[in-house]
Structure 1
Amino acid sequence: MKKILGVLFFLIAFVSNAQSIDYYTKKGFAVEGYDVVSYFDGTPKKGSKSITSEHDGVKFSFSSKANLERFKADPEKYIPEYGGYCAYAVAVKGKKVKIDPETYEIRDDKLYLFYNAWGTNTLELWTKEGAEKLKTDADKKWEKIKKRKS
């Protein structure tokens, strides 16, 4: 009986820490360790490994304790769309692609991140090709891929 209770406790703990979606994490943190609150202040900043919080099974780091508190008060406001993967790649290809954490857009009070390397800046493509239509396409495609691990 003790073994069964132990296994049940482990499973409950495991499930409660499981992510509801797949997030882009690099270096152990969402958004490559950048402070998601700082984007809404207009300047993305790297977070500190000593100022962190976990939400939905993912670690987030912050540049200040004030930003940590803002996040804790309303985490859904600050979490990037599409798990922090490139919004353009989700819209166009239905794929999860890494991002450049300093290439972003705040649209309708939501954070969108983009790939920007090797001469390809997908934020520019997102804007040029019509962000509203691409956002609608990304929302539909994200529903199909959001739980798949990349």
Structure 2
Amino acid sequence: MKRFLFAAATALSVAMAAPGIAGEQYVDGTGYAVSGYDVVAYRSLAAQPVGTPQTGAVPGKASITAEYNGATWAFASEENRDKFLEDPAYYAPQYDGHCAYGVSKGGKVPGNPNLWRIVDDKLYLNITDVVVGFWEEDIPGHITLAEGNWPKIEPDAASDRVIPKFTSAAPEGS
């Protein structure tokens, strides 16, 4: 009987820690995930080489939204919204929209939608251009650290900080 209870308790703890159970999404003062930018659009933007600024993110529209992970997401087109709804976890940024470098250091700070990079088909955000420099010194190493830290900090509340040096604007048509 003890062996059965131990096995059941172990299975329950593994299930509770399983990936795919999202933590609280970072939402800034706009009231939208990723500050109202279209997360599907990142997949069609030209990625710039490491060490150079990325192409600017595409603003979503207040009239084209979807709900996911307790947040409202805005999109530039209905086609992008429909793609998102087919597989939201694929399009949503890693770490619930928090800064990937911050997670690699063990904390939750906001992710800036204009400081992005797609690595191994996953979207990562960072908080400031200075942090992007640190992140880009060893992207694979920081992802490994972040993946190790995330299960411990994922249950924590989302960051309530604003994104430094970023003027967030509500999605177009608000």
Q: Same fold (TM over 0.5)?
A: yes
Question: Is the aligned partner of 1:107 residue 2:119?
Answer: yes
> Once the two structures are aligned, what percentage of the paired residues are identical?
39
8 Å contact 1:114–1:121 — kept in the other structure? no
8 Å contact 2:40–2:83 — kept in the other structure? yes
Q: Kindly report which structure 2 residues correspond to 1:87-98, keeping only aligned pairs within 5 A, or say none.
A: 87-92=100-105, 94-98=106-110
Question: Larger strand proportion, structure 1 or 2?
Answer: 1
Q: Distance in 2 between matches of 1:91 and 1:125?
A: 11
8 Å contact 1:104–1:114 — kept in the other structure? yes
Q: What TM-score results when the alignment is normalised by the length of structure 2?
A: 0.69
Q: Kindly report which structure 2 residues correspond to 1:122-141, keeping only aligned pairs within 5 A, or say none.
A: 122-128=131-137, 130-141=138-149
- Deviations 1:69-115, CA, capped at 9 Å, x for gaps: 111111111010011111001102x1111222101000000000011
Count of aligned pairs between the two proteins: 127
Code of the aligned partner of 1:38: A
Code of the aligned partner of 2:112: D
Q: 1:45 aligns with which of 35, 53, 58?
A: 58
Question: For structure 2, which runs of at least 5 residues remain unmatched after alignment?
Answer: 1-20, 46-54, 160-174
Question: For structure 1, which runs of at least 5 residues remain unmatched after alignment?
Answer: 1-18
SS at match of 2:35: helix
Code of the aligned partner of 2:96: G
SS at match of 1:105: strand
Q: Distance in 2 between matches of 1:52 and 1:134?
A: 32
Q: Distance in 2 between matches of 1:123 and 1:41?
A: 21
Question: Is the aligned partner of 1:32 residue 2:35?
Answer: yes
SS at match of 1:32: helix
Partner of 2:25: 23
Which protein, 1 or 2, shows the higher relative CO under an 8 Å CA cutoff with sep ≥ 6? 2
- What is the RMSD of the two structures over their aligned residues, measured on CA atoms? 1.4
